[in-house]
Structure 1
């Protein structure tokens, strides 16, 4: 058993979030971030995606309608990470957030990736990021990946849009 390694092609397929207000959650994920609505399950759940997939994010109020956000200092989801295909795509997402005056909680260069951090309307953490090409990832002397957290140059990122 201890020699087992999960297959390299394994991916995390989707997330399903409990939200207090479905319309408010759709305004964030669909209208601001740009996901497409795939289908509704009555008035209590919505499934959204990028590129026509059956769903990347499920949103529901089955156990959480009008509930307060989960406590910050409790076990649970830290954040959902949404991977953009290019640096320019991340820049466009950042510009949309800035244009909407949506609060950003952080922005970091991790060496392997660049990331923007924020919270959705239910205070679920959201990371918007892009990965640098693997051959650009910083490595330690032993060959392992060297990740770090440095401030992200937001102006430089926004320069990708020009």
Structure 2
């Protein structure tokens, strides 16, 4: 499946703020199975393959706890290469006594949990795209119970050894303050297509007919405020664009709809209407 490589636009890395860096690093290594790629006094880059950072966590000065009912991160989602990888991590969570949520979304099978700071995490595996159901350019998704008996019946499971090297950042799901300007920003500005509408509460968008690279919802309330800069939660995330030409076109499109663009030393950062920061990388 090629939904997380060119010519598609996809999420590459998620950058989080936490209250206690040591506690967070311990959780992401021992519970989720990341490896440390790079570490400084207040920031750690985490990897699955030993080469590519998927998650960065930092402890801001004068950090304050996660604020309720604000915009920002709903969850980031780690996509595992194989269904057997999901079965292994279920076994691992069971062995350490960790309770998690779960769901069968028709397009995927997913687990849900939070880190010690309340940052949401999804860990999932996709069904083959031939099994996805499309109608009028919308993909069918649901929130059905996950069949753990069937999942755990996949052969004899080997022991869990952390996140497999082929893990990618499958998608990010954001709390936003409203959907009309948000849809314009992500479609007309960034070039995504709406592939599913959940009533008037949520949008799912993608490139290349993926079930979603980004989810957007107003479940924290229409008009939800942005969290404080030093608050726990999302610092930013990266979008990986196929080439410089596409980035130039996107920057022009963002400017044409009045979106904020910050250009520093050849890097481009934009901010969605709800204050979520996005780094535009090639």
What do you get for the CA RMSD once the two structures are aligned? 1.8
Of 68, 88, 95, 1:92 maps to: 88
For structure 2, the residue ranges without an aligned partner over 5 or more in a row are 1-5, 157-282
Matched, 1:51 2:45: no
Of 57, 73, 76, 1:77 maps to: 73
**Matched residue SS, 1:98:** helix
Structure 1 runs (4+) deviating above 3 angstroms are none
When the two structures are superposed, what TM-score results if normalisation uses the length of structure 2? 0.50
Q: How does 1:8-157 map to 2 (within 5 A)?
A: 8-42=7-41, 44-63=42-61, 65=63, 67-68=64-65, 70-104=66-100, 106-140=101-135, 142=136, 144-157=138-151
**Matched residue SS, 2:25:** helix
C-alpha contact (below 8 Å) 1:14/1:55 kept by paired residues = yes
When the two structures are superposed, what TM-score results if normalisation uses the length of structure 1? 0.85
**Is the alpha carbon distance of 1:117 and 1:85 closer, same or farther for their aligned partners in structure 2, counting shifts above 3 Å?**
same
Write the distance in 1 (CA, Å) between the matches of 2:60 and 2:126. 34
Encode CA deviations 1:83-138: one digit per residue, 9 max, x unaligned.
0011110111111112111231x211011000001111111110000111110113
The structure whose RCO (Cα within 8 Å, separation 6+) is larger is: 2
Write the distance in 2 (CA, Å) between the matches of 1:127 and 1:33. 11
Write the distance in 2 (CA, Å) between the matches of 1:138 and 1:18. 37
Write the distance in 2 (CA, Å) between the matches of 1:157 and 1:151. 12
Give 1 or 2 for the bigger CA radius of gyration.
2
